[in-house]
Structure 1
Amino acid sequence: MTKTKSVSLGLTALILAATIVVPVGDVVAGKNLEGIACRSVHLGYPAPEGRTFYNEATIRKSAPGSYFMVCGWNRGYFGLQEIGNGKKVVLFSVWDSGQNNPNAVPAEKRVKILHQDADVRVGRFGGEGSGGQSFFDFDWKIGETYRCMVRATPNGPRTEYAGYFYLPKTKEWKHLVTFSTLSKGQPLRGYYSFVEDFKRNRVSTTHARVADFGSGWVETTTGEWIPLLKARFTGDANPVMNINGGKTSPTTFFLATGGETKNVDTPLREMIELPADQNRKPPEDLPK
């Protein structure tokens, strides 16, 4: 697990004084991971506070120990992992504290489980902050597009975060889990995606990890849908430069790291922009 925090204007600043969320572990440990792990790379999407975050991902290249994080925000993240030995999962996590010992968090301050699908495993995590995490075993495929949606419902001092994953075979949305966490009733903010190598065994650096992210939308707190047409390309403190980012179509960005990757499209910290399209509409089949 990788804890997140807000990083204000500076290395990973976004336009319009927006805030990006990047992994804390990336900043602290990244310098020590040269030659051990691929550099983590991120896309930070400037957008208003919202109640819904929708995004899609198509994984092009993977290896054991890969996390393709599709929907990240300031209190959690949601995406696809290849763990190893052919095992793949959908992961949805929400934080409740910065403490490394999950048992040290008082019961009344912990993440609460409000919904759990029968196919989903739920538990607590620690080590880099603490909170609730859920796993859905899912044999995702290279080259297939997957759809994720997070919905936030403020409720007093807490916010309820619901994770939905679209099942292509049955053409239906699966409500994986809803976690409630103390947040001062904040809506969604700090939207981002990333690609991470968590295998960290030196050999993992020789394998490229590549994914497209796109067709993203944020529904604001006032009900307006905003397309995600801009993204800041950033990396962790690992100094290696076999990384890349850019756009693959009028509706998609991409991230690449490791192996023979070359930084030929977008320099670090630069903004990537997709073309505006007045005919662009949010999906009509999103869960209500």
Structure 2
Amino acid sequence: MANKGVEPRAARSVHLRYKVPDSATSARNTICVRRCQTGTYFCAINFRCGYMGIQQLYDGKKVVIFSVWDNKTDDDPDVDRQAKATYKGEGVDIQRFGGEGTGLRCLLPYNWEIDEDTPFRVDAETDGKWTAYSGHYFDQRKNSWFHIATLKTLTEGKLICDCAAFVEDFRRDGKSFHEKRKACFCDFQFLVGDRWTKCDEARFTADQNPVLNINAGCEGNQFFVLETGGDTCNCDTPLNGTVKIE
């Protein structure tokens, strides 16, 4: 499953990449976790300037997460490159983050469950060179949509596009490689004008981790499936292949 002589520290990050036009103003997707381990991120919507989904943290606690990056391209020292929060939902903790880029991260405790659908939606609205991204998730406990936050970042007027879903092992302690993670992603759609369009195919990609215990496929005619770690077998879709719902 790994290169001979190399002890992997993490399960490989795996992605479903969707074709979304630059003119899309909203995107939505639903996660259903089938198997989880601590230190896992199940991302419903990774878009041009951020991402959102659910996590199980190192201590086992479960959260909803919504993040937007600072502008990365403008070198002018007089340009304000930091993302800003213009709305925060009740109970949401917003902090700055670093590491893989910088930006604002929103966390909200949410005890999501295995085999439970959690829908997400992100809306984009331009304001000159800035874009405000509003993140929402459907709270199954309250049977209603919850507005997590609206985060504004410098984009030169760009909207959503470059969308993906992913499963990531962020624990990376050497043991996590041997633990399986699996999630289904259904009903990815994007909005252009007043029309929602459903994506019935996605490209299967992964990070530079060379391990081979990864997989992507379909479950029935509704779900995309991503798996990584443990005894996962790459038996459905080759890396960089296309997963299609018939």
TM-score range, shorter chain: over 0.9
| Correspondence for 2:103 | 131
The change in CA–CA distance for 1:137 and 1:106 in structure 2 (over 3 A counts) is farther
- Structure-2 separation of matches of 1:153 and 1:97: 16
- Structure-2 separation of matches of 1:168 and 1:178: 21
| Correspondence for 1:44 | 17
TM-score, structure 1 normalization:
0.79
Residue 57 (1) aligns with residue 31 (2): yes
Residue 226 (1) aligns with residue 226 (2): no
Q: 1:127: how far off?
A: 1.8
1:158-169 equivalences under 5 Å are 158-169=130-141
Residue 213 (1) aligns with residue 185 (2): yes
Q: 1:214: how far off?
A: 1.1
Name whichever structure is richer in helix by fraction: 1
Q: 1:54: how far off?
A: 0.5
Q: Which 4+ stretches in 1 moved above 6 angstroms?
A: none
- What count of residue pairs does the alignment treat as equivalent? 237
Residue 257 (1) aligns with residue 195 (2): no
Amino acid at match of 1:70: A
TM-score, structure 2 normalization:
0.93
Q: 1:230: how far off?
A: 0.8
| Correspondence for 1:238 | 209
Q: 1:135: how far off?
A: 0.2
Q: Which has the higher contact order (CA 8 A, sep 6+)?
A: 2
Q: 1:249: how far off?
A: 2.1
Contact kept in structure 1, 2:14 and 2:167, CA below 8 Å = yes
CA RMSD of aligned residues (A): 1.6
1:71-82 equivalences under 5 Å are 71-82=45-56
Unaligned runs of 5+ in 1: 1-32, 100-104, 276-288
SS in 2 for 1:205: helix
Contact kept in structure 2, 1:55 and 1:214, CA below 8 Å = yes
Q: 1:34: how far off?
A: 5.6
- Structure-2 separation of matches of 1:126 and 1:232: 28
- Partner deviation per Cα, 1:173-231 (whole Å, 9 max, x = no partner): 000100000001111110100000000001111110000001111001x2221101110
Contact kept in structure 1, 2:72 and 2:81, CA below 8 Å = no
Contact kept in structure 1, 2:47 and 2:160, CA below 8 Å = yes
- Structure-1 separation of matches of 2:197 and 2:21: 8
Residue 68 (1) aligns with residue 39 (2): no
Identity of paired residues, percent?
Answer: 36
| Correspondence for 1:149 | 121
